[in-house]
């Protein structure tokens, strides 16, 4: 039986991924800053799918503890999914460095710190899969997502580099670029229904892409083309737009 | 996020700010805002209960907390739907103790409406099987209640339409089954008199319900099909079924992709439908062994079947009359057939005894009908209300979108007691719905 580690399991996509992997008979290690919140999810997937699920305390901002956290996992997970991330009020983040720094440190530095750890371990074992959930926002910086988009851009670049580094070591790295998703993070935004996914759809697409060993997957697929257009708008035009 | 929501009848439609929570502290944050709201599950009640300018949805609070396979005790968060429960419990030899005609309702909704099923005369309503549950009040306090402790809160929550607080956790007892199949008997009755005799003759059956053609007049007034069922034993199954006696039904769902124009349902088409429905049972009595799905949830196979009634929506009308008021039943059915308002099939069932303060079921005949919304309907239903009250009956709040406060008041003698309990636990009075405002349940 294979084991998956979900970093950031209290997020809506994290919970949906836990269910999806459990339904495919994976044992599931649920990691979050407040693991006690995950007891209901733990019982739920264990009862539904007859798998083993464990809870682990993990704080993306406590870089110093990442090594001991990962080394304490037993068994070492075959698949690690990094799905944690925060989206704060951008105006607030622009004015208050504390808010901006927390966003950068969670979405970028924290992710790099733990995934370096995971990748080292996978390289030494010569197997394993790392799945990083980034965002289409990282494909091009813009005013309304100033800090968030740049932190995700960094994370996307990191995942691409890590994929390159790990390829010859038989370790696969997959980048996931979700577009709009109905989650707690976006509950107060009014999202256009036809291009917005549910966490369950996202989890299903990620699982399929994992099986096919995809490199970069957009959720849903048309976001690849939406972002292609956005990336190709000339800068002299782009800077004048309200995005 | 603001959106337009409606319950299953698509009437009324309102603008609502729907908020969700996955964890207790997220619910607390929502309650901290101190603005009025109504808890909401899957929106499968028919009328205006669970509608308000602000709704707190339990749909993300949907985890299974425990399931003891040896005792059948099941505990879950309130946003879990019955269809998901069935997928887990049926293969282990357990079934829902009580289930309504759709499995797409949440457990919280089952409690708030205190739903009943085809087995009410034997097993009572959903609340009879609850061991304990947690209610979060508008003060954020979480209270565990059961038939033994905080009994008043328990009684007012069962059938209380969500007005006592957010039901967050429910522990209840399942029913043991040997197979997932139902031994079904369908018997035709040529008229209402015959049907009532058949009900009496078959009262030992665990499940019973009748579909009545309510447009028939004269000698065939009330012609109907009585459907009876028992959980099948292993010995009832054929060889193919016996290979996997606890199998889940195969999913065969079709979708109703758009609203039918409202004129499609008229007296002629409904008559034709009812004729076919009655005529498809060629023999007077049919005995079969079927999966539980078509027996309990025939309409769940058509997703969005409510769109068949068109954009204007429909109103469900369900009442119960005491056993001795058979005459009232006849009077109501004849009014409907005279009016030709195009109710598809009416569903008749005999309730057993039940003690409760706000739950709908009580001993007698209960009839449920659908009416497409059209001019004159509301006035007509007001007339029917008078017959129901005159006979000492009452209406089901989960189906209601239009009754007048006096009708509720006279149907539920313990209404005052219910309101007192709601006020005791929620003195701030922040929990109300369009329905409770309409019926003055929550005004002081």
What is the ipTM for the molecules in this complex? 0.91
Partner-chain contact A12 B65, CB within 8 Å = no
The helix (H) or strand (E) run that includes residue B351 is strand B345-351
Q: Which of B374, B273, B278, B393 is nearest to B331 (CA)?
A: B393
- Within 8 A of A187 by CB-CB distance, chain B residues are 1, 19-20
Taking an 8 Å cut-off on Cβ atoms, the answer to whether A47 and B19 are in contact is no
A50 touches chain B (CB under 8 A): no
Q: What is the phi/psi pair of residue A11, to 5°?
A: -75, 160
* Chain B nearest C-alpha distance from A208 (Å): 22
Q: Look at residue A168 and tell me if it is in a domain.
A: yes
Chain B residues touching residue A184 (CB < 8 angstroms): 20, 22, 26
* Residue A239 sits at the chain B interface (C-beta within 8 Å): no
Whether A10 sits inside 8 A of B77 (CB atoms) is no
Judge residue B249's burial from the number of C-beta atoms within 10 Å of its C-beta, 0-12 exposed, 13-18 middle, 19 or more buried.
Answer: middle
Residue A243 belongs to some domain of the structure: no
Residue A206, in any domain of the structure? yes
What pLDDT shows up at residue B443? 56
Question: Can you give the CATH number for the domain in which A62 is found?
Answer: 3.40.50.720
Query: Which residues of chain B neighbour A47 with C-beta distances below 8 Å?
Result: 64, 66-67, 88
- Say whether residue B69 is in contact with chain A using an 8 A CB cutoff: no
Residue A15 falls inside a structural domain: yes
| Residue A28 at interface with chain B, using a CB cutoff of 8 Å | no
Q: Are B88 and A187 a contacting pair at CB < 8 A?
A: no
Domain count for chain A: 1
Q: Give yes or no for A57 touching B (CB within 8 A).
A: no
Residues of chain B with confidence (pLDDT) below 50 = 444
Token pair, residue A1, equals 């039986």
Q: What is the least distance, in Å, from the CA of B10 to any CA of chain A?
A: 20
Smallest Cα distance from B63 to chain A, Å: 5
Residue A96: the pLDDT is 97
Nearest to B313 by CA among B3, B11, B7: B11
Tokens of B92: 């282990």
Dihedral angle sign, alpha carbons of residues B4, B76, B299, B347: negative
Contact B103, B86 (CB under 8 A): yes
Q: What is the pLDDT of residue B344?
A: 66
What does the alpha-carbon distance between residue B309 and residue B226 come to, in Å, rounded to a whole number? 25
Q: Within 10 Å of residue A228's Cβ, how many Cβ atoms? A: 11
Chain A interface includes B263 (CB < 8 A) = no
C-alpha A135/C-alpha A147 separation (Å) is 13
Answer whether A10 touches B (CB < 8 Å).
yes
Q: How many CB atoms lie within 10 A of CB A117?
A: 18
B1 with A43: Cβ contact below 8 A: no
Is residue A203 a part of any domain in this protein? Answer: yes
The answer as to whether A101 is a domain residue is yes
Whether residue B19 and residue A40 make contact (CB cut-off 8 A), yes or no, is no
Helix (H, G, I), strand (E, B) or coil at B91: helix
* Strand pairing category for B54-57 and A3-7: unpaired
Calculate the dihedral angle through the C-alpha atoms of A180, A185, A187, A190, rounding to the nearest 10 degrees: -40
Cβ contact B357:B417 at 8 Å: yes
The whole-angstrom separation of Cα B170 and Cα B74 is 8
Q: What is the pLDDT of residue A30?
A: 98
* Domain that residue A122 falls in: 3-238
Contacts of A15 in chain B (CB under 8 A): 22
Instruction: Write the pLDDT tens digit of every residue in A222-232.
Output: 999 999 999 99
Buried b (16+ CB within 10 A) or exposed e, B318-337: bbbbeeebbebbebbbeebb
Average pLDDT over residues A14-24: 98
Residues B365-386 as b/e (b if ≥16 CB within 10 A, e otherwise) read bbbbbbbbbbeebeebbeebbe
| Percentage of chain A modeled with pLDDT above 90 | 92
**Strand-by-strand arrangement of the B314-321 sheet:** B285-291, B181-189, B224-231, B207-213, B345-351, B364-372, B314-321, B394-395
Q: Using CA atoms, how far apart are residues A87 and A93, in angstroms rounded to an integer?
A: 10
Q: Within 13 Å and on the Cβ side, how many CA atoms surround B406?
A: 6
Q: Does residue B26 belong to the interface with chain A, where contact is any CB pair within 8 Å?
A: yes
Contact in structure between B88 and B333 (CB atoms under 8 Å): no
CB count in 10 Å sphere of residue A190: 10
Residue B201's CB is within 10 A of a number of other CB atoms, namely 11
Mean pLDDT across chain A: 96
CB spacing of B63 vs A37 below 8 angstroms: no
Residue A38 lies in a domain: yes
- To the nearest whole Å, the CA of A152 is away from the closest chain B CA by 25
Q: Give contacts of B66 with chain A, Cβ < 8 Å.
A: 43, 47
Between CA B126 and CA B354 the distance in angstroms is 12
Strand partners, B213: B345
Residue A11 distance to chain B (closest CA, Å): 9
pLDDT single digits (tens) B238-257: 999 999 999 999 876 677 77
- SS3 category, B53: coil
Under DSSP, the state recorded for B431 is B
Residues of chain A in contact with residue B63, where contact means CB-CB under 8 angstroms, are 40-41, 43-44
Closest CA relative to residue A53, chosen from A35, A26, A33: A26
Q: Locate tokens 């949906």: which residue?
A: A16
Residues of B in contact with A48 (CB under 8 A): 64, 87-88
Q: Which residues in chain B are contacts of A189 at CB distance < 8 A?
A: 1
**pLDDT computed for residue B252 by the predictor:** 66
CA dist list (Å): A185 to A57, A114, A188, A199: 22, 23, 8, 12
- For each of the domains in chain B, give its residue range(s) and CATH number, in order of start: 181-408 (3.30.70.2520)
Q: Helices A39-49 and A12-23 sit at what angle, rounded to 10 degrees?
A: 20
Residues A44, B64: C-beta atoms closer than 8 Å: yes
3-state DSSP call for residue A24?
A: coil
Nearest to A44 among B23, B25, B63 (CB): B63
Q: Which residues 76-115 on chain A approach chain B with CB closer than 8 angstroms?
A: none
Closest B-chain CA to A36:
B23
B201 alpha carbon, distance to own chain's centre? 26
Q: Does A51 touch chain B (CB under 8 A)?
A: no
Cα B354-B359-B364 angle, rounded to 5 deg: 45
């Amino acid at each position: 039986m294979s084991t998956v580690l979900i970093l950031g399991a209290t997020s809506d996509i994290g919970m949906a991924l836990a269910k999806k992997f459990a339904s495919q008979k994976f044992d599931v290690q649920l990691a979050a800053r407040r693991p006690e919140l995950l007891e209901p999810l733990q019982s739920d997937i264990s009862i539904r799918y007859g798998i083993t699920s464990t809870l682990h305390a993990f704080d993306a901002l406590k870089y110093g503890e990442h090594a001991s956290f990962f080394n304490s996992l037993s068994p070492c997970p075959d698949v690690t999914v990094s799905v944690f991330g925060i989206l704060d009020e951008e105006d607030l983040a622009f004015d208050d460095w504390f808010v901006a720094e927390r966003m950068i440190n969670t979405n970028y530095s924290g992710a790099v710190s733990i995934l370096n750890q995971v990748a080292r371990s996978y390289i030494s074992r010569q197997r394993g899969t790392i799945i990083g959930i980034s965002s289409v926002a990282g494909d091009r910086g813009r005013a309304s997502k100033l800090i968030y988009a740049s932190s995700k851009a960094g994370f996307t670049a990191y995942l691409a580099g890590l994929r390159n580094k790990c390829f010859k070591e038989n370790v696969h790295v997959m980048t996931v670029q979700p577009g709009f998703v109905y989650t707690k993070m976006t509950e107060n935004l009014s999202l256009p229904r036809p291009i917005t996914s549910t966490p369950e759809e996202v989890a299903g697409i990620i699982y399929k892409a994992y099986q096919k060993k995809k490199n970069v997957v957009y959720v849903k697929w048309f976001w690849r083309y939406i972002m292609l257009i956005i990336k190709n708008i000339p800068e002299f035009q782009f800077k004048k737009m309200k995005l | 996020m603001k959106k337009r929501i409606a319950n299953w009848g698509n009437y009324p439609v309102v603008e609502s700010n729907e908020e969700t929570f996955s964890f207790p502290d997220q619910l607390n944050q929502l309650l901290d805002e101190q603005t009025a709201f109504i808890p909401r599950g899957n929106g499968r009640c028919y009328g205006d209960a669970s509608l308000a300018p602000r709704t707190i949805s339990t749909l993300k609070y949907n985890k299974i907390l425990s399931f003891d396979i040896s005792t059948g005790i099941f505990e879950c968060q309130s946003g879990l739907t019955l269809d998901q429960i069935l997928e887990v419990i049926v293969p282990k030899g357990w079934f829902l103790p009580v289930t309504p005609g759709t499995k797409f309702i949440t457990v919280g909704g089952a409690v708030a409406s205190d739903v009943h099923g085809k087995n009410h005369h034997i097993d009572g309503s959903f609340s009879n099987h609850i061991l304990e549950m947690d209610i979060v009040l508008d003060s954020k306090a979480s209270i565990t209640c059961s038939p033994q402790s905080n009994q008043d809160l328990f009684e007012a929550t069962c059938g209380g339409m969500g007005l006592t607080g957010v039901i967050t956790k429910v522990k209840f007892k399942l029913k043991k089954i040997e197979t997932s199949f139902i031994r079904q008997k369908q018997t035709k009755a040529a008229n209402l008199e015959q049907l009532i005799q058949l009900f009496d003759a078959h009262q030992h059956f665990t499940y019973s319900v009748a579909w009545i053609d309510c447009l028939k007049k004269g000698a065939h007034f009330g012609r109907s099909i009585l459907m009876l069922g028992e959980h099948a034993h292993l010995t009832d199954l054929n060889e193919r079924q016996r290979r996997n006696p606890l199998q889940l039904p195969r999913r065969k769902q079709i979708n109703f992709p758009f609203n039918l124009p409202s004129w499609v349902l008229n007296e002629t088409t409904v008559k034709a439908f009812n004729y076919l429905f009655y005529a498809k049972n060629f023999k007077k009595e049919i005995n079969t062994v079927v999966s539980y799905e078509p027996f309990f949830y025939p309409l769940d196979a058509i997703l969005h079947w409510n769109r068949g009634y068109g954009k204007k929506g429909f109103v469900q009308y369900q009442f119960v009359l005491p056993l001795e008021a058979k005459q009232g039943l006849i009077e109501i059915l004849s009014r409907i057939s005279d009016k030709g308002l195009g109710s598809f099939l009416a569903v008749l069932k005999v309730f057993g005894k039940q003690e409760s303060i706000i739950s709908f079921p009580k001993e007698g005949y209960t009839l449920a009908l659908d009416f497409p919304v059209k001019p004159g309907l509301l006035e007509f239903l007001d007339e029917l209300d008078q017959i129901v009250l005159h006979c000492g009956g009452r209406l089901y709040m989960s189906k209601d979108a239009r009754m007048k406060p006096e009708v509720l008041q006279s149907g539920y003698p313990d209404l005052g007691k219910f309101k007192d309990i709601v006020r005791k636990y929620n003195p701030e009075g922040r929990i109300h719905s369009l329905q409770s405002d309409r019926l003055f349940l929550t005004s002081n």
